[in-house]
Amino acid sequence: MLLDKNTKVLVQGLGKDGSFQAKKSIEYGTNVVACVHPNRNGQLFEDKVPYFDTVKDAINKTGANAGVIYVPAPFASDAIIEQIDAGLDLIVCITEGIPVHDMVRVKSYLKGKKSRLIGPNCPGIISPELSIKIGIIPGDICNEGKVGVVSRSGTLTYEAISQIGDAGFGQSLCIGIGGDPIHGTTFIDALEFFEKDKNTEYIVLIGEIGGTKEQQAAEFIRNNVSKPVVFTIAGTTAPKGKRMGHAGAVISGKMGLASEKIKTLKSAGAHHADDPSKIGDTLKKIS
């Protein structure tokens, strides 16, 4: 429902990082059909993927239905809106540091549109079964399996994937939703997908301090999720009022505390890995 064998990806923003990651996606097996970058129309990326000046032109010529954005922060919100206007089904924005007021505009613009946005400030999405990697999640640590992963943290996404493999499991789909205060896809969106997905038997949720997104996820788990959920919350020792890594990871009230998130998720029936290094062990205990 998010990715399938017909997913065709366009890459927007082919600087040093974007070019490196686009090459990695192609090597993983992703069907990258177009690149969008000003003044490169008619050229080829890696001697095979055509460049276009606009997203709309790329879609018209290649049939692309998913896009990934590596555009620098000052221009990234315009790139997201361009992909929304072009009608892409899935948009993944990797860019970090997009101003909050820009994302407020994007979030409002998304209402009523067909596009699903993952990110910004996220590692993206990967499906080992389909060999599709949109973003920066390392493909070599992923294995096909039955565990769905959703995370606010990029590096902890990689840690969880590695532990899941070491524990003898694999991943059905991994989604990094991003650590900014305002983003497209939420924990609830991912949980709803995993609950419906026949290839997912277990769910791993990785949260952080700040905000109430984990509490909202807990309520959804309590009422709508039948599959076992393992969770961990990063930032248990973070001081109040100090931003820790992500723009959304700052405790500004009791509800933003790791302890509150842990209590709420446990009360909803989720299984707590009390240290991020114990995700794999916790998964083995409940399997």
Q: Between the CA of residue 74 and those of 19, 78, 96, 124, 172, what are the distances in Å?
A: 19, 9, 10, 20, 34
CB-based contact 143:117 (threshold 8 Å)? no
CB-based contact 197:173 (threshold 8 Å)? yes
| Burial of 141 per CB tally in 10 Å (0-12, 13-18, 19+) | buried
| Burial of 47 per CB tally in 10 Å (0-12, 13-18, 19+) | exposed
| Burial of 249 per CB tally in 10 Å (0-12, 13-18, 19+) | buried
- The conformational region for residue 205 under phi > 0 = left, psi -120 to 50 = alpha, else beta, is beta
CB-based contact 94:154 (threshold 8 Å)? no
Is residue 28 helix, strand or coil? helix
Tokens of 11: 């890459």
Which member of 101, 246, 271, 272 is catalytic? 246
246 is catalytic: yes
The count of residues in the chain is: 287
CB-based contact 232:272 (threshold 8 Å)? yes
Q: Between the CA of residue 104 and those of 7, 99, 108, what are the distances in Å?
A: 28, 9, 6
Point out the residues that are catalytic. Answer: 246
